[in-house]
Structure 1
Amino acid sequence: MRPRIFVTQPIPQPALELLREHGHVEVFPWTNRDVSLDELESASVRSHYLFCMHETPIRASLFGPGSQLVGIGYSGPDPELHDLEAIASSGVRMLTAVRPSPPDDDPDGFSWDGYGLNPRATGQLMVALLLNCAYRVNESDMFCRANGFFQEMTMQFMGHGTTGKTVGLYGFGKVAKQAARLLSAMDMEVLYTKRTRLTPADEAKWGVQWVADADDLITRSDYVCLLVNYTADNAELFGEREFKLMKPTAYFINVARGRLVDEQALIAALRDGTIAGAGLEAFRTEPPVVHDAYVPAEFRKMDNVVLTPHNGGATYASRGAQTLRTAEAIVADIKANWKN
């Protein structure tokens, strides 16, 4: 008998094809919501392996009576989403996707060997959101679809563009590095702030300028891009105070985590013209805050907000590499432990 594998959402074909070579594969079919805990519990009774994405909850109920699980493929433990004590006592093998180490000659992940693909894709999406705001692409698209007719060279959708403008990178990790080289090429002044300043050589390498005071970065920037990791200590890092520091013509871009932002303060700043607009990839209403992620209705009603569904790594290369590594971990366990 071949093992039965339940995949918690649609994933790229290379990973599915590999899994199908070694087992019977069932894929959760919906793309407008995450798999529920009840559906996961049902899958654990009829499946031997779960293929989980990073937001999939792993709770004690998955290991209850009737469960046939022997292995779960996932990207790694998350105390907010995973019941680590129940996992440890279940006897179910947790199969972590192996992430390749960066090449010695390419520590920043610019090679095409699979390393650095997700930060690269997320950094490029950040730039896409910025450009959308700079040239008001989303508003122009909606206008063209709704009206059909237009006035050539209209002033209705004039934008600030990027040439000669200042972008502030609040945080400077892997994603910011990937974005910085593109922003510099777009004739922008690129500022950054972080706890530890880069060396002069690295600042020259990335084309960025250090700003020690985060408030100064916010005040000077035409585009403020939030790029720090979320921790309990920096929850709601951006709130009413920070938005009031921004220029009224400035845009706020968030490709980090929704919980870094006081969302009601952002909504108010967008409504009353404190800032010009926003490009949002992450929202407070995501796991682990809620199970089914959703975009607040207030943002969906605003023409000056560009929205993407927390999907920064959504290129065939990036998502394909991520899911293939998890599939390889499951297949390795099948080869080592599955008894026909």
Structure 2
Amino acid sequence: MPAQSRLHVIVTRRLPEVVETRLKELFDVELRDPDIRMSRDELADAVRRCDVLVPCVTDQIDAALLAQAGERLKLIANYGAGVDHIDVATARSRGILVSNTPGVGAEDTADMVMALILGVVRRIPEGMAEMQAGRWTGWSPMGHLGGRIAGRRLGILGLGRIGQAVARRARAFGMQIHYHNRRRLRPETEAELEATYWESLDQMLARMDIISVNCPHTPSTFHLLNARRLKLVKPSSVVINTSRGEVIDENALTRGLRAGEIAGAGLDVYEHGHEVNPRLRELPNVVLLPHMGSATQEGRVEMGEKVIINIKTFADGHRPPDQVVPGML
């Protein structure tokens, strides 16, 4: 492809070096340095000048921003699977395609779900804090008592790629798998995972020992775990969220944890992005992580490879393999 016909691509954050290098080889690319979030003005400038924008979850690509896009912008190749930060319908109405990177982080995120379950139930952060502060005075029969996860009922909210990866791991730990989904899975998939389906989310929540949120954030899942539903959860239950913070009413969850109506929580995502409810930080029965569920070197490179394939396919005149359309959301 002649240099003058190469697509002009703007990347909003730093990506793995191998990914950035390949992008430079294939396209006319503006890389982000230093690795800080683009301001609103910088994003507006980018969409006015580029053929392809490569944003991530920290970039809000809404209707107002898309209204400022130039005629050149024809593809938003998102670096990540979730696209709730992009107004896909408006983009489509303006002739702008949107692609994402589905499936890459399923195994990594599932690992983190299990880490959070163990962290909360076995009180691992409390033990680490005690050791690091030099407060440990020795072993005691009743010291640091947590719980056994084998035999517990795990309710998975959203049994897609990540949810199924969680189910396989949880079965290996001896847990019983239950799930609620927009659509019931095939009988053979249920049999493989030994999973029990609940059409009623309310009924499932009232019976589970651990609840793992693994569904995307869409208008229909906003505050899916609201104050009413969180009241259904057993006082001995634990809530895990590695999906999107908006799926849970964070204030209601905090109230339930503080009142002892929920035994604990493990959170990797938050309703208001990086602004975490300060009351959550005060609770010893809560494990908080900085949105690192998919943060492995291998996963980040694979995400970048999917972005490159989507852009390259588009540049060759074809539909990107991971194109997102409003009907999918």
- Structure 1 residues 60 and 242, CA gap change in structure 2 (3 angstroms): closer
Q: Which amino acid aligns with 2:158?
A: G
Stretch of structure 1 that moved more, 125-134 or 142-151? 142-151
Asked if the contact 2:104/2:303 (under 8 Å) is kept, the reply is no
Mark the CA change 1:140 to 1:9 in structure 2 (over 3 Å): closer, same or farther.
same
Contact 1:122 1:175 in 2 (8 A): yes
Q: Please point out which of 22, 36, 47 is paired with 2:39.
A: 36
**Deviation at residue 335 of structure 1 after TM alignment:** 8.2
State the 1:273 CA deviation: 0.8
* Distance (Å, rounded) in 2 between the aligned partners of 1:46 and 1:229: 31
- The aligned residue for residue 131 of structure 1 is 118
Shift of 1:16: 0.7
Offset of 1:205 from its aligned partner?
0.4
Residues 1:186 and 2:173 are matched in the alignment: yes
CA distance in 2, matches of 1:306, 1:321: 28
**1: CA distance, partners of 2:182 / 2:150:** 28
**Percent identity of paired positions between Structure 1 and Structure 2:** 27
Deviates more, 1:173-182 or 1:297-306: 297-306
2:24 is matched with 20
d(CA) in 1 for partners of 2:313 and 2:263?
A: 51
User: What is the identity, as a one-letter code, of the residue corresponding to 2:306?
Assistant: R
Q: 2:69 aligns with which of 44, 63, 67?
A: 63
Give the superposition deviation at 1:331. 5.3
- Is 1:158 aligned to residue 163 of structure 2? no
Paired position in structure 2 for 1:244? 231
Q: 1:77, 1:263 → 2: CA distance?
A: 20
Shift of 1:325: 2.1
Residue 266 of structure 1, CA deviation: 0.5
Post-superposition offset of 1:195: 4.8
> In the TM superposition, what is the alpha-carbon distance from 1:196 to its structure 2 partner?
4.3
For structure 1, list consecutive stretches of 5 or more residues without a partner in the other structure.
Answer: 100-114, 287-292
* Counterpart residue number, 2:159: 172
Change (3 A) 1:128 1:7: same
Greater relative contact order structure (CA < 8 Å, 6+ sep): 1
CA RMSD, 1 decimal = 3.3
Aligned length: 307
In the alignment, structure 1 residue 53 sits paired with structure 2 residue 56: yes
Distance 1:216 1:13 in 2: 48
Q: Give 2:293's aligned residue.
A: 312
What TM-score results when the alignment is normalised by the length of structure 1?
0.76
Q: Provide the residue aligned with 1:229 in structure 2.
A: 216
Q: Secondary structure at the match of 2:114?
A: helix
How far apart, CA to CA, are the structure 2 residues paired with 1:85 and 1:215?
34
Pick from 13, 19, 31 the counterpart of residue 9 of structure 1: 13
Listed as ranges, the gaps of 5+ residues in structure 2 are 318-329
1:107 aligns to what? none
Helix, strand or coil: the match of 2:56?
coil
